[in-house]
A and B are shown apart, each in its own frame.
Chain A
Amino acid sequence: MSTVGLVRLVLDGMRRNMRQYGMLFALGLIVALFAVWTEGDLLLPRNVSNLVLQNSYILVLAVGMMLVIISGHIDLSVGSLTAFVGAVAAVLMVENSLPWPLAVLLCLLLGAAAGALQGFFIAYVGIPSFIVTLAGMLLFRGLTEIFLKGQTLGPFPRGLQNIANGFLPEVGPETNYHNLTLLLGLGFIAVVVLQEIRDRRRQREFALEVLPTPAFVLKLVALAAAVLVATLLLASYKGAPVVLLILGVLVAGFGYVMRNAIIGRHIYAIGGNLPAAKLSGVKDRKVTFLVFLNMGMLAALAGLVFAARFNAASPKAGVNFELEAIAASFIGGASMSGGVGTVLGAIIGGLVLGVLNNGMNLVGIGTDWQQVIKGAVLLAAVGFDVWNKRRVGS
């Protein structure tokens, strides 16, 4: 295979996934820009660690929001629900001294119930999700204030704090690096590489076209290198944050479900063309209901992480979180009309916003200008997508 052919093949692959590669490229650009601007501070191990911690709850919400938007809906209630679950968690653990694992379980169930309630009205009663969740936004915000009586409540038990602020434990000999993080990173690389090789072999078996060997090796090396750099950065500070592990599990799990599980396909189908999905035997109501139930549960998780990170439940927690999560989804490739988007895209979109936030903080841009810039980025990202689609489509 000639170099020209190779380049063409790679470009072709990129064009097919323009949106995702485009955003990944943009993310890289933003990282590089701020790395230079902050004279390297952005990529200091401590800051990378911080970046993960700061954005974890938005990323958790973005994963759920992506599913909601793919199914053709929207959820405006997640910010309030986040605060509400945090408040309930505080009442359970701080006022009633429940053991934290039990309280966490109850809170997740509460979130699922809240999501299910909204899902019921949306899927089975047929009220548009915008309205149901707008009501939920007001309702849960109000309930939060009632529960907390307008006060901030804390502190939380150590165990819970660890989820949001803790790191994986130290094990093994002194190596200047965090051993467990290194192991996890290497393990992750191994899994990804094996998976790719297995996929390629299956594709060969079915006599399907595959990337030529040099391009494939190049792809593997690039993947491994990216993971390795991130691993080393984290391992040279305190190691991988616990919440990163949680996020990793969520992304892998939901990514797999959306790609390969029947329910995932059904979510894409109802978002892409609801009447056609109905006539194809997709149980659209059940699927919609489950999507909102899941969103509620993830909002609860985000609420717990947020409360634990600041070690207090506040009536003003989670304000505008729904908008951040929605913005992350759209930056990451979702479409307003549904049927399009990936879980990984939501994470990339969330990271774009997160790096922007963090970088602008480091260089001392005020929150006023931060808002302006984030708005412009959202508009530019979606604008680029629309333009790109029209160019390809004509």
Chain B
Amino acid sequence: MAGPVLEMRSIGKTFPGVTALSDVNLTVRRGEVHAICGENGAGKSTLMKVLSGVHPHGSYEGEVLFEGEACRFRDIRASERRGVVIIHQELALVPYLSIAENIFLGNEHARRGFVDWTATLRHAADLLRRVGLRDRPQTRVADIGVGKQQLVEIAKALAKEVRLLILDEPTAALNDEDSGKLLDLVLELKNQGITSVIISHKLNEILRVADSVTVLRDGRTVETLDVRDPATTEERIIAGMVGRDLDHRFPERTRYAAPAEEEEPALEIRDWTVHHPIDQHRKVVDGVSLRVRRGEIVGIAGLMGAGRTELAMSVFGRSYGRHAGGTVLKDGREISTRTVPECVEHGIAYVTEDRKHYGLNLIDTVGRNVSLTALGKVARHGVVDEHEERRVAEGFRTSMNIRTPTVFETVGRLSGGNQQKVVLSKWIFAGPDVLILDEPTRGIDVGAKYEIYTVIDRLAAEGKAVVFISSELPELLGMCDRIHTMAAGRLTGEFLRAEATQEALMRCMTADRSGTGGKGNGRTGAGEADER
């Protein structure tokens, strides 16, 4: 029983020009849940790629011992044969195949090259029972939510006789309820003797399920903490991750002074209702009214699937769903927001939550991404002045502290935090009066978050109206002047900064869910929309 199941000794990995890992040590005991955390770029994913053979033996330094034996995995198949299975953040399921087919993809129950359906379905049903999923194995993966898809991934790992399960940010795309179920399952598997390594940004989850936690920083191991030790708190882990005490996770907000006379709000949304693009009877956004003044930061707190992104995108050029009523007013005058160019014209900007798919042209340069929304500003008679464009890009590189060798670098090569700064730059360059920021700090490290907060604060201080959508309550409490809560497509509460607490917000974010009666499946509808 004793003895580590996995030992990684002085692992080093370099990419051209970058040292991703140096002298990293990781020891995972048999039957424990071991968490790995660290800022983005700390080397967590690289370390797991070394372990699972994505980076084959020989391309890194140091040694990997699994169950006491030295491992020299050539590829993922080799590591999976030994029972090391990694579940990536982006799920690797084929949407139009059934759950059962997905579970055994590449690992089919077959006789002479033909699938044995009886064995497949029976075995799949067994596995689904083990992960607590009640759907039929014949169900298409596209027809179940992300939370359940995550469980299918785990069933798939179990089918491979997993001995060490690696979960890379398993709850990043899940709501609280699904996250809870998933974490319970990890604990359940632990009881069945399966060791897990879990990478997560969510420290409360780590404290809940993990036995020990290893902190990485800048490609090095900082420390391994025993979670049962009462001294291991969130603040303690954060201190290890950033190497400094983080009392100040948010910039001192330049206080917003409520306008003396009742001035017209910069942006007002009245009675906004949107139907699901396919199921027309489903209201994804239901009668939302919202006002934002100049210099004000208004938060929208909501869980995944509450309809926050759908609200923002439907207002912004009707980029989501079917419009079913409601008006938008800018500075007290009703405006048309039917198309994106109209919105840009009216000084509205929407910074997407999904920068890779909706925010950036990843194969183009930093400079060209920044200028895209407002090419007219660097052009004369329809012709872009490349020198001027470059000057603008250099300006943003300095003012936003975008870390890139040159503005000609391909955006896809930057880190998440720097990509986010490029998306923000692009919209700031468009010169909006109103910015709708959708999860502007998702998936980026603590240091970059602070920089983004500073930028948002500066924008508000310049008199811009900011809508700040987030599921991280601390950042809303730290940044916003006023916070709305959203659930099942409706606004369910409004708090001034002074009176808001995490508990009160969370109550309103979950309150309305069961009480919506007639259109009870509104939540799942929005959930699917989130996945798109």
Residues of chain A at the chain B interface (Cβ within 8 Å) = 16, 202-203, 205-206, 208, 256, 259-263, 265-266, 268-269, 272-273, 275-283, 339-340, 394
Contacts and interface: CB of A to CB of B under 8 A. Distances in A.
B319 A278 contact: yes
B368 interface: yes
Given A268-B361, A339-B361, A280 B376 contact: no
Given A268-B368, A281-B341, 14 more contacts: A260-B384, A262-B376, A265-B371, A272-B364, A273-B363, A276-B360, A278-B319, A279-B358, A279-B359, A280-B340, A280-B373, A281-B340, A281-B344, A339-B361
B357 A202 contact: no
B341 A269 contact: no
B391 interface: yes
B101 to A, nearest CB: 27
Contacts of B362: 272-273
B390 interface: yes
Nearest to A272: B361
Contact of A268 (B340, B360, B364, B383): B364
Given A260-B383, A277-B372, A279-B352, A206 B316 contact: no
Interface string B339-350: 011011000001
A160 B344 CA distance: 48
The 5 closest A-B pairs by CB, nearest first: A272-B361, A281-B344, A273-B361, A281-B340, A281-B341
A340 B363 contact: yes
Q: Is the interface of A mostly helix, strand, loop or mixed?
A: helix
Contacts of A273: 357, 360-363
Contacts of A262: 375-376, 379, 382-384
Interface residues of B, number: 36
B387 interface: yes
A278 B394 CA distance: 25
B116 interface: no
A279 B340 contact: yes
B490 interface: no
Interface of B: 15, 316-317, 319, 340-341, 343-344, 350, 352, 357-364, 368, 371-373, 375-376, 379, 382-384, 386-387, 390-391, 394, 408, 426, 430
Given A279-B316, A280-B426, A203 B361 contact: no
Contact of A206 (B371, B390, B430): B390
A282 B382 contact: no
Contacts of B343: 281
A276 B352 CA distance: 9
30 contacts: A16-B408, A206-B390, A256-B383, A259-B386, A260-B383, A260-B384, A261-B384, A262-B382, A262-B384, A263-B382, A265-B368, A265-B375, A268-B364, A268-B368, A269-B364, A269-B372, A272-B362, A272-B363, A273-B360, A273-B363, A276-B357, A277-B361, A279-B340, A279-B350, A279-B358, A281-B340, A281-B344, A281-B430, A339-B364, A340-B363
A261 B383 CA distance: 4
A269 B360 CA distance: 9
A275 B387 contact: no
